[in-house]
Amino acid sequence: MFKFKFIMDLFQSEIMTGPYVEANIRAKWLTRLCPPDLKIAFAPNKGQVPLYNSNPIIIEKNRLGWWNHYVQNYTSDFVLRKKDGGNWSLGPNIDLSIPLGKEVPMMVSSNFQKGFILDNINYPADLIHVIPNIIDSDLFFPRPKANQMTVGWIGHDVGQLLKGPEVIPFLARKFPEVNFEMIHSAKPAFQNEWLKEELPNIKIMYGISHYDMPKIVGRWHAMICGSKTENCPNQIIEAMGCGVPVIAAALDGIPEVAKTQILLPDMKWETPSQGDRFNRWTTESLENFAAALEDLLHEQEKLEFYREMALTESKNFSPQVIAQKWFEFMYFCRDRYGGNDSVKPQKKRSKIGNREKKQSRRQTTQALKNKVRNKRGRI
């Protein structure tokens, strides 16, 4: 049995961002669907417990006898890799400015992320596996729509307005008959930068639990993703799982998860001027969002079409589909590197046996180096 351990930081935080949500969904579904020849455990910070009780195995970060998979390389957990000295894996939260020290199996959330890594560091493409995020199908499914036309947005307003909250006030002025609902991961920090005046058809929420999100999202007739960069956006795939059509810019990892939805090409934002630190969509790009929404909301047949397409495409991110990708990655780590990353007590062997073992190990190591060297390259 191959024992695979996720070394991570948090399951729960005051601000539940995408990586924390995905950690909980991963613990729930990989535990539930785990095949009999694998054993999966999670090693979070002390005192951390998952949101959803699916009886995952929770162990210490330094427990021996397990393959170590580091969910991120920018926390203090990552120093453990220097102590164990064995094989390990990494992803999907990767800071390329931090040296890895060796070439290891890596999982990323999109082909966009994989391409970014290959463009920036010299790394074997065959070691990088693409595993998108999971939609929790227990929670995100079609629900009755709001009585009045309602359009939603999910994100935050930190990080140079990268989630594009300024789109919603622009649309709210254009469509006074439509209700707009904004769900922020935390209380807005720079609301005065994107909402200069209160508008009666904008409702702002924050701190909504993941469990309660689908009750709100499922009521929407459409969702606007105003993001200026995304890897594998949970908010899009979860909205699609509720049968909610999505309007978004056709950039980065968005086309990989929402190719059937309304994706806007050639979108541009203004770089911050002196004394400013926020990236804002150009007026032309904001008008593109408005034109797409106008076209969608006033043609019932088109609205139904995109609902059905969203539901169909969301099945690509079902727990069963994505869990299988994770299990294949675990088998890759096992087969490529020979089992759990631990030092086990060995029985005494004769000197002849030890010499034969060392010679065999040298030959295997050299063969592996040659194999990696031959496969190294970019995609």
pLDDT digits 0-9 by tens, 22-31: 999 999 999 9
Instruction: Quote the CA–CA distance of 9 and 61 in Å, as a whole number.
Output: 10
Q: What is the token pair recorded at 113?
A: 């992320």
- Buried/exposed 149-168: b ≥16 CB within 10 Å, e otherwise: bbbbbbbbbeebbbbbbbbb
Q: Which residues contact 51 (CB under 8 A, 6 or more apart)?
A: 11, 12, 24, 209, 210, 211
What pLDDT digit, counting tens, does each position of 117-167 carry?
999 999 999 999 999 999 999 999 999 999 999 999 999 998 889 999 999
- Of 201 and 347, the structure prediction assigns the larger pLDDT to 201
Average pLDDT, the chain: 88
Predicted local distance difference test score (pLDDT) of residue 340:
64
Task: Point out which residues pair with 202 in neighbouring strands.
Answer: 180
Of 290, 233, 237, 232, which Cα lies nearest the Cα of 260?
237
Count the neighbouring beta carbons within 10 Å of the beta carbon of residue 189.
11
pLDDT of 352 strictly over 50: no
Torsion sign, CA atoms 334, 337, 339, 340: negative
Predicted local distance difference test score (pLDDT) of residue 54:
84
Task: Point out which residues pair with 269 in neighbouring strands.
Answer: 281
pLDDT of 351 strictly over 50: no
Predicted local distance difference test score (pLDDT) of residue 378:
30
pLDDT of 376 strictly over 90: no
Percent of the chain with pLDDT over 90: 76
Predicted local distance difference test score (pLDDT) of residue 348:
36
pLDDT of 3 strictly over 50: yes
Length of the chain: 379
Instruction: Give the type of residue at 183.
Output: I
Count the neighbouring beta carbons within 10 Å of the beta carbon of residue 1.
10
Statement: the pTM of the whole predicted model exceeds 0.75: yes
User: What single string gives the DSSP state of each residue in 323-377?
Assistant: HHHHHHHHHHHHHHHTS-SS--------HHHHHHHHHHHHHHHHHHHHHHHHH--
Helix (H, G, I), strand (E, B), or coil: what is residue 86?
coil
Strand pairing category for 179-184 and 150-155? parallel
pLDDT of 367 strictly over 90: no
Of 87, 65, 62, 88, which Cα lies nearest the Cα of 77?
62
Task: Point out which residues pair with 10 in neighbouring strands.
Answer: none
